[in-house]
Every structure is written in C-alpha cells, then in structure tokens.
Amino acid sequence: MDPMTLRLASLRLAPLQAAAWGHPETSGLPTMDCFLSAQDLEPAAAQAHYTERLVALPHLGSFLRPAGVDAVAADLSQWRIDADSPLLLCPGTPFKYAPEHDAVLPAIARQLGRCQFVFFTHWTRALSGKLQRRLASAFARDGLDAERYLRFVPWLSRPAFYGLMQRADVFLDTIGFSGFNTALQSVECGLPVVTREGRFLRGRLASGILRRLDLQEMVAAGAEDYVALAVRLARERSYRERIRGQIESRRHLLYEDVAPIRALEDFLARAVG
C-alpha cells in the first residue's frame, strides 16, 4: 500500500523474495517468489489466489501479545451517542466498506429499532464523508432516518478507543475486507465480534481469530445470518454476556504461540539451503 514498497518489490534485489499479509492479497509481481500467510486464515485450495508460492504458517501465523492498554471511560454524550441504546461499533477504515453491503446496517436498525452505529472519522476526511453520504442513502432507501442511527466520532487515542470498545455491545466486522488488529482489540476488551467469512484471505481475518477461539457461532454464513446475529447480540443481554465470558476465558489461546516462529525458521532454512 506504500508506493516505495511497491517500487522495491518490483525489483529483483535478492535470490528469494517473499511478501507477507500486511496487505492481505497477492502482489501479482513476478519478482515475488513466496507469500507468507496462515493456515487459520486461508480457505482450501488457496494457492489459486496467488501468483507467489503460498506458505501457510501454523494457526494465525503470528506471535501475538495482548496490548495491555489502560482503557479510559468513554463520555458518550460528547458524540451525541444515546447511552441507553444498543451500541454497535464499526471501526473499519472507510475503504473496507463495500457498497454492495450497505443494506446490512439498515436491516439491523429496522429490527432493533433504537440503536446506534459508531464509525470513526478517517484522517482523510473526504473518505469518511463519502461513506457517510452513501450510508445515509442506504438508510433512506429503507425508509429510515440515518441521523437517528449513525454516529461518526473523531479518531481516538488507544486508551479512549479501548474504553469505547468496553462500553459497546457489538463489534461489526467489515464484510469482504475484514479487520485483524481491530478484531484482536475487540477480543482483548471482551467485545463480541460479528463477522462474515469471505472467499479470500482479506475477508477471513476476524473469522480466523474467532475459529481459533472456538467461537464459530460468531461467523455468519450470509447477509441474513449476519443481521440476525448482530440483532441477537444487541438485544439479548444474557446471550451477549455468555459470549463475553467465552471470549475472556479463551483469548489466552491467541497469545505467545511459538509454532508460527518455528515454522518460519524452517521455511527460511529450507528456502535458502
């Protein structure tokens, strides 16, 4: 995603060159030999999605530690957020919200009635403005007033962001281009994640985390299932608290996994041998 990185990757600078999934799709470049991904994030026959040779490291393919951030309690009133309404967090960057999925949020709002979706204003404000106008049109097509439901808040510090996550009821993962870091942060805060598994790596980041936690029930099979799951979590406190408890009791499974490190060492040793 960085122009200079793309320029360097287009050159043959070493006998073996590998890309990793910071940008989760194939580079398409003949100068890149391997793509480092993860077993829990790839579908069957995933090699067909890459021009590089796919190397799927064990589990999530990463050695992770909890961020350990001290959360700051969120003052919802400053952003005109109704503290008594179900709060559904939508922290994806604007380009991850594809227009074909815009109807999902009005469908959730219609079933819940009183609720609010919280987005974060991107530092490129024009991107957030475009998304906000597009979602307003989607709500209007469904006969709903977007002003009642949508809130775009400023980009927050990490402690403030964690405080808002702890206060929210549901985290709505972006469909088609999932979030990995945001899903990890949600898990650390005990916030239930709703996701829909995609065909490619970029749409399977949160679902890989959830499957690692044995929380497949949070992975929706389709748009209707995604809506139903979000509505149930927002509406049924007992169900939401049960999922929170499972997240908190299992999230240690994500951390300090040395299997990807050992597998990466083996791959590098074989590749340059």
Q: What CATH number should be reported for the domain holding residue 185? A: 3.40.50.2000
97 lies in the same domain as 110: yes
Residue 89 and residue 206 in one domain: yes
Which of the residue ranges 22-26, 81-85, 167-171 has the most confident prediction, judged by mean pLDDT? 167-171
Asked if residue 68 belongs to a domain, the reply is: no
| Phi, psi dihedral angles at 18 (to 5 degrees) | -130, 145
176 close to 182: Cβ distance less than 8 angstroms: no
CATH of the domain at 29: 3.40.50.11380
Asked whether residue 187 is assigned to any structural domain, the reply reads yes
Q: By C-alpha distance, which of 168, 222, 165, 227 is closest to 197? A: 222
Q: Is the pLDDT of residue 237 over 80?
A: yes
The pLDDT score that the predictor gives to residue 2 is: 84
The per-residue pLDDT for range 161-216, each reduced to its tens digit, is: 999 999 999 999 999 999 999 999 999 999 999 999 999 999 999 999 999 999 99
Tell me, letter by letter, the H, E, C secondary structure of 179-244.
CCHHHHHHHHCCCCEEEECCCCHHHCHHHHHHHHCCCHHHEECCHHHHHHHHHHHHHCHHHHHHHH
Residue 57 and residue 107 in one domain? no
Question: What residues make up the domain containing 143?
Answer: 76-254
Whether 80 is covered by a domain: the verdict is yes
For residue 1, pLDDT over 80 is answered with no
Average pLDDT, the chain: 95
pLDDT higher than threshold 90 for residue 22: no
The number of distinct structural domains making up the chain is 2
The answer to whether 90 and 119 are in contact (CB under 8 A) is: yes
d(C-alpha 244, C-alpha 169), whole Å: 10
Q: Considering the domain boundaries, does residue 16 fall inside one?
A: yes
Pair (206, 108) in one structural domain? yes
Examine the domain organization and report whether 202 and 235 are in the same domain.
Answer: yes
Q: Is 30 part of a structural domain of the chain?
A: yes
Q: Do 28 and 150 reside in the same domain of the chain? A: no
Please report which confidence band the pLDDT of residue 98 belongs to, taking 50, 70 and 90 as the band edges: very high
Q: Which helix (DSSP H) or strand (DSSP E) does residue 99 occupy?
A: none
- Mean pLDDT for 69-82 is 88
Provide mean pLDDT across the span 29-52: 96
The two structure tokens encoding residue 268:
């590098």
**152 pLDDT higher than 80:** yes
Same domain, 189 and 228: yes
Together in a domain, 142 and 242: yes
Rounded mean pLDDT of 91-116? 95
SS3 category, 172 = strand
Give mean pLDDT, residues 89-115.
95
Task: Indicate whether 144 and 85 sit together in one domain.
Answer: yes
Count each helix (H run) and each strand (E run) in the chain, helices first.
10, 9
**What is the C-alpha separation between 173 and 89, in angstroms, rounded?**
9
Residue 71 lies inside a defined structural domain of this protein = no
Q: For the purposes of burial, counting CB atoms within 10 Å of the CB of 157, is it exposed (0-12), middle (13-18) or buried (19 or more)?
A: exposed
User: What pLDDT score was predicted for residue 239?
Assistant: 97
One domain, residues 240 and 227 = yes
CA distance 233 to 224: 14
Q: Token digits for 171?
A: 């985290």
Evaluate whether residue 69 is within a structural domain.
no
Which pTM does this prediction carry? Answer: 0.93
Are 36 and 153 members of one domain? no
